[in-house]
Structure 1
Amino acid sequence: MIIRPAVEADHAAVLAIVSPVLAAGETYAVATDLDAEGVANYWFGPTHEVFVAELDGVVLGTYYLMANQQGGGAHVANCGYMTSAAAQGKGIARTMCEHSLVRAKERGFRAMQFNHVVSTNARAVALWQKLGFAIVGTLPQAFKHPTQGYVDSYVMFRAL
């Protein structure tokens, strides 16, 4: 698997991964009714450095890296990760996260923080913990899940 910066030619493949995840409304605190332009504006936002995970020329996952905050918080990174439905459970998210930790350190970040990890996303929570992230805060009923109602979200953090 190759992880590389996304290029213009990757946009359709990336949007094919990102759009259904956002529309499902189960893991990201983002509007579920974004059109293609809205999804592209979100994922490829001006503060996002976007990467793709590719195997045999097929984009199987994508992530973005950015500063979590500005000013005094700009030394802490933030990322978002998505894997294509067909490639889930094959270690792609793990590989992307490991790549992002290295890339964040290269960019001078001192830590990484995930602000809103939905508690019902058990696979992600377990993976982030395996990769050294700790739950440093629980946001009670901070996420409205489309089928499970109001559920907790976690703030997860790890030093680089």
Structure 2
Amino acid sequence: MTALSIRPATSDDAEAIWAIIEPVIRAGDVFALPRNMVRDDAIAYWLGGDHIPFIAEENDEIIGSYYIRPNQMGGGAHVANAGYATAQAATGRGVARAMCLDSLDEARGRGFRAMQFNFVVSSNVRAAALWRSLGFAEVGRLPGAFDHPALGSVDALVMWRAL
């Protein structure tokens, strides 16, 4: 078995990234993105703008993707933000942990001084626990900020850590 490797994503990875993020978007329970978002818009979001995208591969198969970007412009540009998605078949194998650790290194190497997650859905307890285990603190809670498709209004967490 080949070890997990993480590399910058290219437009050639778009189909594999779509295969990973489409089920997450459709489920509507962790990303604050429209559940009916079409492929081209999702790929433009994930790979475009100020996003710096990466993919995680194992045995030449793309099993995860993340991006980093400045959390804000101007005076807030020294704080990174990130988004992560793991292929459903790879869940529970440490892919998200590896991607987060890589993103922290990438952010640090690009001169960011902290990382902030603006909108961690509180019902996504696995992700929140993972982020806490990697040194993120809950610095804010937005009551009822996320309209979960099964649970109704749930809180969103703001999580932060220094780099």
Q: Where do 5+ consecutive residues of structure 2 fail to align?
A: none
Query: If the length of structure 1 is used for normalisation, what is the TM-score?
Result: 0.99
Q: How many residues align?
A: 160
Q: What residue is the counterpart of 1:6 in the other structure? A: 9
Q: 1:53 aligns with which of 52, 56, 65?
A: 56
Deviations 1:22-74 (A, max 9, x none): 11110011111111111111111221100000001000000000000000000
Give 2:123's aligned residue.
120
Q: Which runs of 5+ in 1 are unaligned?
A: none
Aligned to 1:31: 34
Q: Deviations over 1:63-113 (max 9, x none)?
A: 000000000000000000000000000000000000000000000000000
2:133 alignment partner AA: K
SS in 2 for 1:141: strand
TM-score by length of 2: 0.97
SS at the partner of 1:62?
Answer: strand
2: CA distance between counterparts of 1:138 and 1:127? Answer: 17
Deviations 1:114-151 (A, max 9, x none): 00000000000000000000000000000000000000
How do 1:87-126 and structure 2 match up within 5 A?
87-126=90-129
Aligned with 1:138 (options 132, 135, 141): 141
2:19 matches 1:19? no
In terms of mean alpha carbon deviation, does 131-140 or 15-24 score higher? 15-24
Structure 1 stretches of 4+ moved >6 Å: none
Counterpart position of 2:45: 42
Corresponding residue of 1:71:
74
Identity %: 53
C-alpha distance in 2 between matches for 1:100 and 1:149: 31
Q: CA RMSD in A?
A: 0.6
* Separation in 2, partners of 1:132, 1:102: 14
